Amino acid sequence: MAGDYIATTTRELRSLKRAAERAMGQVSDEQFFATLDSETNSIAMLVKHISGNMRSRWTDFLAADGEKPWRKRDTEFCIEPADTRAALLARWDESWKIYLDTLESLRPSDLERSVTIRSEPYSAMGAAQRSFGHYSDHIGQIILLAKHYVGAKWQTLSVPRGKSEEYNRDFVSKGFGKLR
């Protein structure tokens, strides 16, 4: 079961990453850095925050507290001149690599080990699930913002509206499942 958890979680995370990247690929640089108001984050800020969180939580995951002393969380919500789209997306890719490589390196028995985040104990599986939920929330925000900015030109990331039955027929015809 633990091995399946790692494989399933990794597969779902890769899918979330692809969805976020497909959404971000549809927005202009101006939209990437835009905020809806003074209380919302831009896509750029979300990318910076997710990247900082991943790097902190998943570097030395089993050995060190997930909130590293070198992390400056508040700066993740400030865009500085060096925070170009290319630089932020490079940081995004590097952080995802740390995260996925670490998760994939875990043995099933590692999931029962104790880890800490801000000195609070978690099972490794619990910490992994905590991260999964956190990143899923923010990726949903990225997708919603991108969809808002792109409007009618939005290219769906999943089954298009009104096309569910067609999609299901195609899915089954390709041998991926059986409808009941």
Q: Are 156 and 37 in contact (CB under 8 A)?
A: no
167: confidence class by pLDDT, cuts 50, 70, 90: confident
Q: Is the pLDDT of residue 180 over 70?
A: no
Helix (H, G, I), strand (E, B) or coil at 179: coil
- Residue 179 pLDDT: 52
pLDDT digits (tens, 9 = 90+) for 47-77: 999 999 999 999 999 999 999 999 999 999 9
Percent of the chain with pLDDT over 90: 84
Which residue did the predictor score with more confidence, 179 or 39?
A: 39
How does 60-79 read in b/e, with b if 16+ C-beta sit within 10 Å? ebeeeebeeeebeeeebeeb
Ramachandran class of 65: left when φ > 0, alpha when ψ lies in -120 to 50, beta otherwise: beta
pLDDT digits (tens, 9 = 90+) for 85-143: 999 999 999 999 999 999 999 999 999 999 999 999 999 999 999 999 999 999 999 99
Mean pLDDT along residues 76-84: 97
- The model carries a pTM of 0.90
CA dist 139 and 52 (Å) reads 14
Classify 2-151 by CATH class: mainly alpha
Q: Which residue has the tokens 């390709």?
A: 174
DSSP label of 122:
E
Helix (H, G, I), strand (E, B) or coil at 162: coil
